[in-house]
Amino acid sequence: MKNHYGNYVFVTGASSGIGKACAESFAQAGCQVLGVSRNIEEGLRVFENGGRLTCRKMDITDEASIAYVLDQMPRIDICILAAGMGVAGPAEELPRDLVQQQMDVNYIGTVLTGGKILERMRRQGHGLFLVVGSIAGRVSIPMQSHYSSSKYALEAYVDAVRMEMHDYGVKACILEPGDTKTGFTSARRFYTKEGSVYADIARRSVAKMAKDETNGRDPATVARVAMKLAARKNPPARVPIGFEYKLLMFVLRFMPDRLKEWILRLMYLPR
């Protein structure tokens, strides 16, 4: 593995899905990886080429938990902030506690963890700061308004980080997966009010999402992109994962909003 930044790698959301794939891939390539999650089996795996994957429990929304775990790393050359969860349902109806949970995990947790890591990277004068966003952070999905909002927020956050860290040798990039086959699908929280006028269409919309995700890309695809970025001195600002999503982002530059929304309604609000 060609690595421009260094061998000490930190990964959140490492118990499953994209985070797990990234943690294992970097360790298999010879890196010293610390993978964390609230629900992870703690332990150490040593690979033939000297790579090590240490798993530790950590809550990205708890500053004390973050500080305790990060203190165990001598340095952080590359971080991959992949922890996340999904809440689905009508924008009109989702209760505050679910909205708060969505933002706490996907955005606030990333910001709290990221702040501690950026401080260390700034002091050491180098680092690669990767955040796992989503295509839904560029194209809002109906019945996933708050999930999309949390991912939109990460887009703005990473853009600001990239500018602020420019003079300190720290590069920042957001990865934008589309449909990916992970445990995210079964763990998604779904809510409608009793007697909701949206109940039927919301269920069908989420079922469409679940089907697409189940047939989506393997999370190893995202890990391979992360490893390629580690080999680049000047990575791009954002990377849609997969040719079809790269093409989609290009086409949307020229597509009127009304046409884009008409297509999304056909896809996710079936009548």
pLDDT in tens, 72-109: 899 999 999 999 999 999 999 999 999 999 999 999 99
Going 256 to 261 to 262 to 264, the CA torsion angle's sign is: positive
Residue 2 lies in a domain: no
Cβ atoms within 10 Å of 91's Cβ, excluding its own: 15
- Is position 3 within any domain? no
Mean pLDDT throughout 3-8? 93
Q: Residue 63 falls within a domain, yes or no?
A: yes
Tell whether 44 is covered by a domain.
Answer: yes
Q: Is pLDDT at 251 greater than 90 in this prediction?
A: yes
In a domain, 1, yes or no: no
Q: 120: part of which helix (H) or strand (E)? A: helix 109-124
Other CB atoms within 10 Å distance of the CB of residue 40: 19
Q: What is the pLDDT of residue 72?
A: 87
pLDDT band at 271 (very low <50, low <70, confident <90, very high): confident
Number of domains in the chain: 1
Residue 107 domain-assigned (yes or no): yes
For 194-238, write each residue's pLDDT tens digit.
Answer: 999 999 999 999 999 999 999 999 999 999 999 999 999 999 999
Six-digit token pair at 60? 């990205």
Query: Alpha carbon of 143 to those of 101, 114, 166, 198: distances in Å?
Result: 16, 28, 37, 9
The SS3 call for residue 34 is strand
In a domain, 36, yes or no: yes
Q: Which residue has the tokens 């991959």?
A: 80
Proportion of the chain above pLDDT 70, given as a percent: 100
pLDDT tens-digit series, residues 162-173: 999 999 999 999
For position 224, which CATH number holds?
3.40.50.720
Residue 178 contacts residue 240 (beta carbons within 8 Å): yes
Residues 117-137 have pLDDT tens digits of: 999 999 999 999 999 999 999
254 has pLDDT over 90: yes
Is 134 within a domain? yes
Domain that residue 232 falls in:
8-268
